[in-house]
């Protein structure tokens, strides 16, 4: 057995390993063995009985999670096994977030932290609500163009767009009934840069999302992937 994404060997316990536990909880879960060398050989720990009582309390007090901690024995040597589950919500240790990646553990900061937090709550950047934005910040001309082009392209029917703006945005997944989201402001806003500084629109998202679907329905883009196929076909024609 070698150290990997889900396995960590430690010869002795150190409180700094609480960061490793936090990182595993935020990744795929895993197991930390206390009393094994770097190759996974049991060398034992003298204070296993003490640790099996102290470690769970330290984990609970610092992170609010309760992993399985038990003592195992091999060749008359005691060692500790700490099993950590993957948690659906972000876990922090002393106000910081850690993430297990391969056999390494690192603090998550900046834009990586933003992506991590959004992913854990099942949201993407464009889905975030914009609390101070109202329908007065949206362009009627943008709605008009969208309605015309989406029907002309055949991707929406006339009855799909002959509804009020609020209902239209709800159907497009850009309005939750209380807040407009960032995608709504980028797609229909009078001044998109007011809400997302330095913003510009560039569709390059490979997964299904409401922002790209809105462009598709408006007829501005083909269904994702068809453009590549068309380029391939043209290249094959030119090579003949």
Span 172-183, pLDDT tens digits: 999 999 999 988
- Give pLDDT tens digits for 44-92: 998 999 999 999 999 999 999 989 999 999 999 999 999 999 988 889 9
Q: Which domains does the chain have, with CATH numbers?
A: 7-120 (3.30.950.30), 125-230 (no CATH)
pLDDT of residue 2: 74
Helix (H) or strand (E) segment spanning residue 78: strand 77-84
pLDDT of residue 206: 47
Q: Are 160 and 171 contacting, i.e. CB atoms less than 8 angstroms apart?
A: yes
CA distances from 128 to 27, 101, 137 (A): 23, 27, 17
Residues of the chain with pLDDT under 50: 206
Tokens 């595993």 correspond to 24
Instruction: For residue 78, give both structure tokens.
Output: 């005691």
pLDDT of residue 103: 81
pLDDT of residue 75: 92
- CA-closest candidate to residue 224, choices 202, 208, 200: 208
Q: For the whole prediction, is pTM greater than 0.85? A: no
Instruction: For residue 19, give both structure tokens.
Output: 């960061």
pLDDT of residue 202: 57
40 backbone dihedrals φ, ψ, rounded to 5°: 90, 5
pLDDT of residue 57: 94
Helix (H) or strand (E) segment spanning residue 156: none
């Amino acid at each position: 057995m070698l150290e990997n994404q889900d396995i960590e060997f430690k010869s002795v316990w150190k409180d700094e390993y609480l960061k490793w536990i936090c990182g595993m909880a935020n990744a795929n879960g895993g197991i930390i063995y206390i009393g094994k060398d770097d190759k996974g050989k049991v060398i034992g720990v003298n204070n296993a009985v003490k640790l099996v009582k102290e470690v769970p309390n330290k984990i609970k007090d610092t992170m609010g999670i309760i992993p399985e901690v038990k003592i195992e024995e091999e060749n008359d040597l005691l060692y500790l096994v700490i099993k950590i589950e993957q948690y659906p919500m972000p876990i922090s240790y002393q106000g910081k977030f850690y993430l297990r990646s391969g056999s390494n553990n690192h603090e998550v900061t900046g834009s990586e932290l933003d992506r991590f937090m959004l992913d854990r709550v099942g949201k993407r950047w464009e889905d975030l609500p914009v609390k101070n934005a109202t329908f007065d910040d949206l362009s009627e001309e943008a709605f008009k163009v969208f309605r015309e082009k989406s029907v002309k392209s055949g991707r929406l029917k006339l009855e799909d767009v002959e509804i009020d703006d609020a209902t239209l945005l709800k159907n497009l997944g850009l309005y939750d009934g209380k807040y407009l989201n960032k995608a709504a402001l980028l797609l229909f806003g009078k001044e998109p840069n007011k809400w997302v500084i330095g913003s510009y629109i560039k569709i390059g998202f490979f997964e299904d999302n409401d922002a790209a679907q809105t462009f598709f329905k408006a007829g501005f883009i083909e269904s994702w992937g068809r453009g590549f196929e068309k380029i391939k076909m043209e290249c094959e024609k030119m090579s003949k």
